[in-house]
Chains A and B, each alone.
Chain A
Amino acid sequence: MSAENLRPRPAPARWDLRRVPGIGGLFLGSLAAALIMFWVGSDGYRQTLVTSAVTYALIALGMYVPYLMAGSLSMAYSAYAGIGGYAVGLVSTRTGLPLAVAWLVGPIVAALVAVLLGLVTRRLSGFFLAAVTLLFGMAFSAFLIDAEPVSGGSGGLGNLRPLNLFGWTPSHYQVVLGSVVVVCVIAFLLDRLRLSPWGVIVRTMRDAPRAVEAAGVRVPVLNLVALALGAAIAAVGGALFTYSAGSITPDTFTLNIVFLAIFMPLIGGAGTPWGAVAGAVLAVELTLNFPAFQASGTLLLALGVLVIMLLAPRGVLGYADRLRVRTWALLRKEPHGG
């Protein structure tokens, strides 16, 4: 059976007419991003917040493909983001190469590491996969501390030089703006990917791996591709954060971030990648920008995740979507009924 046969049947005609796949999400997402950028302005603290949100969003988006589409929870994403970050750090401090190289090398190396780890763990799923990948994340940060000549040990790498694109050095605001655009583009592309034939196969693989395997699709290869893609996206997030912060240490990307990244799609809604982005914004708002001190915000977030998981399993966006559908139904009915 070829990929074409697995193409989703044209769902209700209303859907078809209303939009090009994913365009509605892009519109709403860009609108929200524009509002956020308007709110940020030249405030340095808010710019830092947006940078954090962008990093969280990219890590969560990286996990989106393997975790929500392919259904395997790999938790080594602190390591992948770290690889992206250290690529920027190393290129900046140890070589004279243009910094843009780091943005290419980091994601590629992260994807390679993800493929290797995926090959080693290809027979694992569920709890076993989660445990091994968590251990890998721990071993990676232990390695960063041990490999002092390369990574700078527990002190990490600092004093990174600014980006220089053909003689143009973007200001901090421009970097923040650029990273927000990157998030929107990646979320849009992932949304398209989710709806594409490839995405449908991957999602079917989550629910019925044997059926997909029997249909002639190589499930292990598909899994590896999903993992590599996710790792590369997370590495971009790590690189952006490291560049904005100007330094990186083994503690920059902790397992805490991985846990937060698992919860973000749950908070925002697992139905679309934009849910992960919405979750990231909410997570940053709660953990970093909460009026009380930081700890209570994270606790609130954790409790919120439990409540959302029990009461609104489709997340905030899913809930909003249901509300929208119901409102539409009400609005349409009224003229008839009246």
Chain B
Amino acid sequence: MTDLQLWLSAVEIGCFFGMLALAYHLVHVGAGFFNFAIGPYAMMGGLCTTWLVITYDLAVWPAAAIAVAVTVVLSALTELGVVRPVQRRSGGGELPALVAVAAVLFTIQQLAGYVFGYPTLPGQSLATFGPVTVGDVTVQPTSLLMIGVALICFALVAVWIRFTRTGRLLRAVGDSNHAAALLGLPVNRIRLIAFVLAGFVAALAGILFAPKAGVNSLSGLAWSLSGFLAVVVGGTGSVWAPLVGGMLLGLVEVFLPYYFGGQAHVYGMLLIALLFFAFKPQGLFVRTVRA
């Protein structure tokens, strides 16, 4: 555990998981359920950018902008077209919403496979500068961007939730959709904002992470699970909690395969899920509420 290069890699993956978890957190705070389609959103961001660059010779930045826009539209459609009608019909039950997001997850995967093809495509780097060397660690520009953007995202969301009117409304609506609706708060608009922001963050994460290992239409499911685990491990007590959860999973993802061989991180993830769900389902950081 003394190889700094590995630590850097773990932090980078941790930031990626953290951003996915942040997207989960936004939807969870605003709409009170876990949007399993977060992973496919990130996949859409990464894959769409690469596809536009390769197929239409677009520059990276416009391609990334289009990909983010597409993902945000998908995310908004998830809420408007699927989750909202299903929840309205089924009342408060969890299962219908879960099945609905599973269907969305599957549909986005198939859509991406149909439009962009099934092979793994390399990610496109947004950075234009060369690798930076600090001591004996070489920091790739993509890693630097990933970590930097993740921190900025978290900071912005933290400020937004704490200090703006919309951010406070988000928490009010998330605490109880029903009570918020009785108070005359714009529940539907706030929920939509949460979904759009989540789609935006997830797409950004996917675009930034794609250069590391490439991306294909089926990457989304594993990412969904990692992000979900990160948000559960972190807890919902603070905006920064998902980042801590993500970092923990990043360590697992990097160091377990390094010491125990290729697939050890899959077992590690399962073990962490079982342990946390059984003993600490509320996560590491919990918001204390005065009774």
Contacts and interface: CB of A to CB of B under 8 A. Distances in A.
Contacts of B291: none
Contacts of B73: none
A150 to B, nearest CB: 15
Contacts of B269: 135, 138-139
A71 B107 contact: no
Contacts of A145: 263
Contacts of A146: 261-263
Interface string A109-149: 00000000000110111111011101110110011011000
B267 A302 contact: no
B278 A128 contact: no
B106 to A, nearest CB: 5
A310 B82 contact: yes
B98 A127 contact: yes
A327 interface: no
Given A120-B274, A135-B273, A128 B232 contact: yes
Given A126-B98, A310-B85, A135 B270 contact: yes
Contacts of A306: 81-82, 103-104, 107
Contacts of B267: 139, 142-143
A295 interface: yes
A303 B107 contact: yes
B185 to A, nearest CB: 25
Contacts, number: 110
A296 B114 contact: yes
A252 interface: no
Contacts of A130: 36, 98, 102
Contacts of A126: 94-95, 98
B95 A120 contact: no
A309 B273 contact: no
A135 B278 contact: no
Contacts of A132: 270, 273-274, 277
A299 interface: yes
B266 interface: yes
A115 to B, nearest CB: 15
A123 B85 CA distance: 29
A39 interface: no
**Chain B interface size range:** 35 or more
Interface stretch (A20-28, A166-174, A190-198, A255-263): A255-263
B106 A259 contact: yes
Interface string B246-274: 00000000000000011100110110011
Contacts of B82: 306, 309-310
Contacts of A139: 266-267, 269-270
Contacts of A136: 270
Contacts of A124: 277, 281
B166 interface: no
A289 interface: no
Nearest to A128: B277
A271 interface: no
B86 interface: yes
A306 B98 CA distance: 13
A298 interface: yes
B34 A127 contact: yes
Interface stretch (B11-19, B139-147, B220-228): B220-228
A120 B269 CA distance: 15
B100 interface: yes
B211 interface: no
A127 B277 CA distance: 11
A295 B225 CA distance: 24
A332 to B, nearest CB: 30
Contacts of B232: 128, 131
A83 interface: no
A298 B81 CA distance: 20
A73 B111 CA distance: 24
Interface string B221-245: 1100100110010000000000000
Interface in B1-52: 33-34, 36
B33 A127 contact: yes
A313 interface: yes
B165 interface: no
A60 interface: no
A266 interface: yes
Given A135-B273, A302-B110, 13 more contacts: A73-B95, A120-B274, A121-B274, A125-B94, A127-B228, A128-B232, A134-B221, A255-B221, A266-B99, A299-B111, A305-B103, A306-B81, A309-B86
Interface of B: 33-34, 36, 81-82, 85-86, 89, 94-95, 98-100, 102-107, 110-111, 113-114, 118, 221-222, 225, 228-229, 232, 261-263, 266-267, 269-270, 273-274, 277-278, 281
Interface of A: 71, 73, 120-121, 123-128, 130-132, 134-136, 138-139, 142-143, 145-146, 255, 259, 262-263, 266, 295-296, 298-299, 301-303, 305-306, 309-310, 313
19 contacts: A123-B281, A125-B94, A126-B94, A127-B228, A128-B232, A130-B36, A131-B229, A132-B273, A138-B225, A139-B266, A143-B263, A146-B261, A259-B106, A299-B110, A305-B106, A306-B104, A306-B107, A309-B103, A310-B86
